[in-house]
A and B are shown apart, each in its own frame.
Chain A
């Protein structure tokens, strides 16, 4: 009977965990997704490397802001050049804005000049919900130990205006510089801004 009570309690504890959101400072939730070239990627494949997750929807004006200006591509190029793995995740459901076939995804990737390591297709939204990604662009940084070290906005200028990029503080660049220098992330969370993820 005691065991039974213990069992019920641990069952309940399991439920509790399942409901918990990813926490900065905790291990990043594991996932496997297929990229636009048909290759599966498991988060654990990148153990030992710093990983950036970027929630992407090219139809969203907030995403457009960072791609039209070249801001996002520059970040991707700069940091993949320093060994960072950059994964763009598309959680748009089929038929919703931002959802694309793998071919169109690759075509758009070339057109936009994306330097992401891979674009992951999450059309059932599992990984988006796992990370509680609510907007595009929403950014996550996972350090080489697999710990989530940043979650939030790309920068501190909540707008769709490309003119705002110049004076903005880029939280992602700041956090990546700190992580790569082995320092703790000074601003580890921010409120992400953007369009809702089209689950």
Chain B
């Protein structure tokens, strides 16, 4: 099947033999034993190295091979009295194979070294024998081995040998010294969060775990360093102690061996230099500022276009309540705020659960699910019909909660439901402040996620609390009257506009057919609602009631069973393609892929990268008003800027990863890679003007 040839060759330096592993006429691995000295000096330690040179595309493994593969071994046979230290491994690379199989390996060449201590009375020449075994893999794996011998004369002093080779790999040896940054180990439900703080001069941070005695950590991934900080999650059941190499990269790579504590919260590593109790001070301080941002962001959510319809409804509700007693108004306000809190904390719970399950979760992820849009569309539609007066709900025991009563009645439960609806519609709008808070939250522990969402909810609910507690401040509002019925009907139109937007998103996700089936479902729901309103009132005859109930049941069955369950479910998901991206506007967008981006940057092309989604109104607004304008189009063409669009309408892990590199979990997000600054793109604000875009790409007037 495969043949192994061992060939002895004398090298120029006389350092030792060489063995080549052949496969189908191709030399896969060349193994050589080399020493860092020309001579053995009795009593003085020296090093020998196993130098492996792999054919292009092939790799051998690190001491922890990862999901598959096998570590290289080196067994030494030393003359009597000689002792040797452990095998020392340079930093590996992370390779990912199809099926998300992650291995830690060396491509090109590697040098695994051992320190040898000769006894004081050693005499020469010294013969060091070694048996090396390895597994070399490309798409397939082939084991290899070699018996190598190295002979060194014994002399009073030796000159350094193979200095370039040893120097090259010594630079890649992980240090056992304390790292020049702080390491913060926090157990999480899925393993550990390794917080690195105070990193200077590094772009990415990475962690390569050693294999554990009982359980080994799962996949880690490199993270961007932002403001000197990086957080790496290390999945391992039950958070047992973990050792590994943390690697910082900034052109060159440097590694430090670190290990976790035993599992007490936020424990600083034993290797941390003179650790101040910073787990309490510094991160806490930054947590507070993030919570303040989250609060402000939540407040700003009230002003977002996607929540406006509900907000206006709510203001109208306050107006109606203005005639009520103060206690009553406060009760309504609190119920509304409770709705906001329930939604955000529910969302936090879902995110924590999904994070625990290891999937990629991002802000507004729910709008990537067409079913979510479909269901929200149905709610908005029925809600609007209610406002138009198609049906009213008069349930016995006025406290009953339902979607319709939420719309038609301003009972306490209605206020509560309004709170939920308002926040539901607000989620896709990441206001600028919120972006930062969320980026922070998604990399943190569940407690922090809950705290941040709590702060957002508090921010959003704050104005209602103030107005409910001080209804006097609403005194200048007009007095209730018959005009309010008209206003109520009018409010149905913004809801219909919202519905149009949802249908547009569904269309982008699933195609025109899905829009038709969604609309057909809504039509049936509308018919059911009309039957309910017309024939199920308190004055209808029992016979009419029975018939209407049957009709409603039939309409619901048709809506849910046929149009939604069968036809809508069957409509194919559409994947954003270059064609659809290009058709939406006049800019010749190139669809995003990281490979394409790296290629363009390697060619030295400037790239404008637009992270967008059809359900993101802010994104669309920016595109229409600040990006797809004549001036920007001309500037792109004149400066040779490649416009690249990352369309996140449907879930796309590659885009999610790219966003995460910049600590973002939502869109809009804009990057400009200036020529020659491929590593340091300009981050544009989330709310754009044409001037900002032109200035950022170097085309604007100062």
Chain A residues within CB distance 8 Å of chain B: 1-5, 7-9, 11-13, 15-16, 19-20, 59-62, 64, 93, 96-97, 125, 128-129, 134-135, 158-161, 191, 193-199
Question: Is the pair B211, A13 in contact by a Cβ cutoff of 8 Å?
Answer: no
B425 CB to closest chain A CB (Å) equals 12
Instruction: With A11-B372, A97-B140 as known contacts, state yes or no: A195 contacts B350, CB within 8 Å.
Output: no
Question: Is the pair B101, A197 in contact by a Cβ cutoff of 8 Å?
Answer: yes
For chain B, give the interface size range.
35 or more
Question: Is the pair B135, A196 in contact by a Cβ cutoff of 8 Å?
Answer: no
Question: Is the pair A2, B401 in contact by a Cβ cutoff of 8 Å?
Answer: yes
Question: Is the pair B97, A1 in contact by a Cβ cutoff of 8 Å?
Answer: no
Interface centre among B99, B349, B371 (most CB of A within 10 A): B99
B131 CB to closest chain A CB (Å) equals 11
Chain A contacts for B325, CB-based, 8 A: none
| Partner among A4, A159, A191, A195 whose Cβ is within 8 Å of the Cβ of B140 | A195
Q: Does B659 contact A (CB under 8 A)?
A: no
Bound together, the chains give a CA A100 to CA B240 distance in angstroms of 42
B527 CB to closest chain A CB (Å) equals 20
Question: Is the pair A134, B70 in contact by a Cβ cutoff of 8 Å?
Answer: no
Chain B window 141-153, contacts with chain A (Cβ cutoff 8 Å), 1 for yes, 0 for no = 1110000000000
Bound together, the chains give a CA A16 to CA B355 distance in angstroms of 9
Q: Does B343 contact A (CB under 8 A)?
A: yes
Question: Is the pair B141, A195 in contact by a Cβ cutoff of 8 Å?
Answer: yes
Question: Is the pair B406, A1 in contact by a Cβ cutoff of 8 Å?
Answer: yes
Question: Is the pair A196, B403 in contact by a Cβ cutoff of 8 Å?
Answer: no
| Partner among A4, A13, A59, A96 whose Cβ is within 8 Å of the Cβ of B379 | A4
Chain A contacts for B101, CB-based, 8 A: 134-135, 196-197, 199
Number of A-B contacts (CB under 8 A): 109
Question: Is the pair A135, B372 in contact by a Cβ cutoff of 8 Å?
Answer: no
Question: Is the pair A5, B420 in contact by a Cβ cutoff of 8 Å?
Answer: yes
Bound together, the chains give a CA A65 to CA B371 distance in angstroms of 50
Instruction: With A1-B417, A15-B359 as known contacts, state yes or no: A135 contacts B141, CB within 8 Å.
Output: no
Q: Does B357 contact A (CB under 8 A)?
A: yes
Bound together, the chains give a CA A62 to CA B346 distance in angstroms of 48
Question: Is the pair A194, B68 in contact by a Cβ cutoff of 8 Å?
Answer: yes
| Partner among A15, A196, A197, A199 whose Cβ is within 8 Å of the Cβ of B69 | A196
Chain B window 370-414, contacts with chain A (Cβ cutoff 8 Å), 1 for yes, 0 for no = 011001100100000000000000000000011100100000000
Chain A contacts for B371, CB-based, 8 A: 11
Chain B contacts for A64, CB-based, 8 A: 1
Question: Is the pair A19, B357 in contact by a Cβ cutoff of 8 Å?
Answer: yes
Question: Is the pair B369, A1 in contact by a Cβ cutoff of 8 Å?
Answer: no
B394 CB to closest chain A CB (Å) equals 18
Instruction: With A19-B358, A160-B70 as known contacts, state yes or no: A61 contacts B135, CB within 8 Å.
Output: yes
Bound together, the chains give a CA A194 to CA B103 distance in angstroms of 12
Question: Is the pair A198, B135 in contact by a Cβ cutoff of 8 Å?
Answer: no
Closest to B406 in A: A1
Bound together, the chains give a CA A62 to CA B69 distance in angstroms of 9
Question: Is the pair A134, B67 in contact by a Cβ cutoff of 8 Å?
Answer: yes
